[in-house]
Amino acid sequence: MASDLGIVFSGQRGPLFRMAMRMGALSVLTLGIYRFWMKTRLRRYYWSAIRPGGHPMEYVGEPLEKLLGFFIAVVVLAFYIGIVNLVLMFISFSLFDGNYAAYLASFVGVIPIWFYARYRARRYVLARTRWRGIRFGVEPAAWGYAWRAMLLWALTIASATLFWPLMTFRLEKYRIDRTWYGDRQLSQGGDARMLVKGMIPVWIILAAGASVGIFVDPGEGIQFVVGFAILALPLLAIAFAWYSVRSFRLLTAHKMAGDIRFVSKASAPRVIGIYLLGYSATAILTGIAAAAVSFGWLIALFATSGEGFSFEQFDAIAAPGLPLQIVGFVIYFFVFVIWSALRHVFITMPLWRHYAETLEILDTMSLPGIRQRDRDEHREAEGFAEALDLGAAI
Amino acid sequence: MSGAAQNFADFFDGKTAVARRVAYAIDNASGTLSITPPEAAAMFWRFEKLREVPDQAARGQLVVTTVDHPLMRLHIIDKNDVSDLRPLARDLRLKPPVRGKSRVLFWAAGAVAAVFAIVFVLVPVMSDQLARILPPSGEQALGEATLGQIQSALSNEMTGLVPTCDAPDGLDALEQMREAVEGANDGLPYPVRVTVLDHDMINAFALPGGQVVFFRGMIDAAENPDGIAAVMAHEIGHVAARDPTRIALRSAGSLGVLGLLFGDFAGGAVVLLLIEQLIQAEYSRDAEAAADAFAIARLRDADINPAALGDLFQVLRDEYGDVEGIAAHFTSHPALGDRIAAARAAGAEMGDTRPVLNATQWAALRAICD
């Protein structure tokens, strides 16, 4: 059909790797300040790689607004976390004679802010996203999202994951129903029941685990328990990935933007394969790089201390001097930089490519009627998510 | 470049989601990029006002806009045109002027000020108030948790704890010293517990809930039992004033804030830093003076020569310099000379004094970690 739009993906490994390495190194050298610039430029790259109907998406966020948002979040969160931690510590030691209650309470205390931050970060990113020159937008409703998410998570945990599909659906519906493209509001149709089938493999594995826990005495069958765990945990991850991809397909098929529809042919085996191969490649290459630089560092250590290279003298060797300590520190961060750059190349980009290329936009006749929306200032950007370390991914 | 050869590209006006196929031409003569939409007037974008949308994934293509209409986009796919246009439009990569620079500086200053205010004013003030009303059992639990953290932080092995020393004769000697120094009327809601950790550091410190901790290095360095008794009395003085409880609550508050700033990455380092701070606890000058006064009074009641306190500081300073362990702990206060003098003066006034332990007991204490 002429009115259907496929999606072209034009990202390439080489340029992305060079960008991620160079900017990762700059982030380390600037004590993390450059990461706001890095994130901006990487998003521009990823966004422009996705081209529905051949027209690139555009990310127009600014690094400085992210920095500003981070500062605002630090001011607010410093008060909250500093004072709340202190008071919780006090209460925990006066009432419970231990600090575990405080750790638990301070963890629970951050959860609503975490969901709040997630919603606001999404709102910021979409407000800075354009396609065909038209802005996306999200309605401000972060606290409503936070308490719903808390409630649905509590329900899911209390029901031993039985309500997981309900949680997936309701939260997605809450987000999508408040999302706009220009003056066109998106909507999420369908219901939670369509996602239930996808959870069945997860539930089977969990049930098997529960029965092992109940019927096998760990004192006697410890080898069996360990063997079961080694087998079951990767299977659980795979089953959950299958649920996620299947849910993505179904939720996409029930999304509407007026009369515009979507269809995704994302494949769970492909996604699982990308994760497995991607993490293997990332781990192996990072390991090789880390071993190489560490070996070089050790040689430098022995050279500066005037000893021959031998492991017998390892204990006798003098502590490294200050320059060598600094070099060691730089190597430590270099390994992190190379790890995250390789992850972009082997995991993030292949995943984006797969999800983009398998997505299609249907019945786009009414697309030309969509008009521009006003700019959403959103002053503190994604500062809360950044300060709470949620923004590690793109 | 053939003057104004026409080509076609997709154009977006920034008002509607229509992709318009337009004719465009790079007109070197007039210095403009001319854009002619169907059934609309032509636009002329001057070369120097052209800006590209940066970091495009598709190589050789150009998404270009103009400063006069920043929401408009022209998506040029023709590689030859792109390479023709680039040298002509010199400011293609020029960034838009930075907006709100002063606001960023304002909030940066605000963030630094807020963190300082919280770590150095609000948290200490609240800790002092809370330390006063924390029930004794809570203080004891806090002390035990902290001791465990210190033991694991100072251990060289990956998973181990620095062991406590528990040779029976040594413990008896330590107990006798504690009884002598603590006296009858301590007024503390919990018993004072003295622990020796098998570690080389020359230091001693107090923890919440009546814990006094010596490192073996301290006992090795002392020349006589009176010096150890004097340090013990000083640390009991901190316990009586609840100084360690304040510091522990303070670090609980500061820890969260610093973790927020540095993230998980350096979070481990921050924990070590704060434990270090607790060991090397820098109490206020008044708190140190009060602990000294407490110690001198207790030593006098127990017929121990208070000059031992001054002697020990002196010995440690001479022997280990001003930087290590207890020397750093005590010498960080400028009035150290005065404090040595005060302790000696208090000693000089006393008539009869006797050592807190006899030679056998002292030998047992020195062997407490064997």
Residue of B nearest to A96 (CA): B138
Residues of chain A with pLDDT under 50: 1, 316, 390-394
What per-residue confidence (pLDDT) applies to B250? 77
Of residues B24 and A33, more confidently modeled = B24
Q: How far is A124 from chain B (nearest CA, A)?
A: 17
Q: Does B72 reach chain A within 8 Å, measured CB to CB? A: yes
- What is the spatial distance between Cα A99 and Cα A105, in angstroms, rounded to a whole number? 10
Outline where chain A has alpha helix (H): 13-29, 35-49, 63-96, 100-127, 142-158, 164-177, 193-215, 222-253, 268-304, 322-343, 349-357, 383-387
| Residue B327 confidence (pLDDT) above 70 | no
Q: How far apart are CA A200 and CA A150, in angstroms?
A: 24
Of A56, A82, A367, the CB nearest to B63: A56
Among A89-103, B29-43, B310-324, top mean pLDDT goes to B29-43
Mean pLDDT, all residues of chain B: 80
> Which of A130-144, B195-209, B262-276 is least confident?
B262-276
**Whether the complex's predicted ipTM surpasses the cut of 0.90:** no
pLDDT for the residue A320: 63
More confident residue, A356 or B167: A356
DSSP string spanning A295-307? HHHHHHHHHHTT-
pLDDT in tens, B213-264: 888 888 888 878 888 888 888 888 888 888 888 887 777 777 667 666 655 4
Q: Quick one: tokens of A55?
A: 């027209």
Please give the model's pTM, rounded to 2 decimal places: 0.80
Asked if B129 is an interface residue toward chain A (Cβ–Cβ < 8 A), one would say: no
Percent of chain B at pLDDT above 90?
22
Closest residue in B to A13 (Cα–Cα): B57
B118 contacts in A (CB within 8 Å)? Answer: 78-79, 82-83
Q: Locate the chain A residue with the closest alpha carbon to B113.
A: A75
The answer to whether A372 contacts B260, with C-beta atoms less than 8 Å apart, is no
Least confident segment among B102-106, B142-146, B191-195, B282-286: B282-286
Nearest by CB to residue A56, choosing from B58, B133, B138, is: B58
CA distances for B27 relative to A202, A352, B4, B80, B84, angstroms: 63, 39, 5, 14, 11
* Ramachandran category for residue B35: left, alpha or beta (phi over 0 → left; psi -120 to 50 → alpha): beta
Residue A53: closest C-alpha in chain B: B19
pLDDT of residue B2: 44
B104 with A67: Cβ contact below 8 A: yes
- B12, B134, B135 member nearest A132 (Cβ): B12
Q: Is the pLDDT of residue B325 over 60?
A: no
**Which pLDDT tens digit goes with each residue over B333-367?**
445 667 777 777 777 777 667 777 888 888 888 88
Q: Which residues of B touch A48 (CB under 8 A)?
A: 53, 55-58, 63
Q: What is the mean pLDDT of residues B281-287?
A: 69
How far apart CA A122 and CA A124 sit, in angstroms, is 5
- Best mutation target, B126, B137, B142, B207, to test chain A (most A CBs within 10 A): B142
**Which of B10, B11, B18, B125 best probes binding to A when mutated, by most A CB atoms within 10 angstroms?**
B18
Looking up tokens 């006992």 gives: B219
Task: Give the model's pLDDT for residue B274.
Answer: 56
- Distance, in Å, from the CA atom of B88 to the CA atom of A120, rounded to the nearest integer, reads 41
Q: What is the DSSP string of A237-291?
A: HHHHHHHHHHHHHHHHHTEEETTEEEEE---HHHHHHHHHHHHHHHHHHHHHHHH
Check pLDDT > 50 for residue B265: no
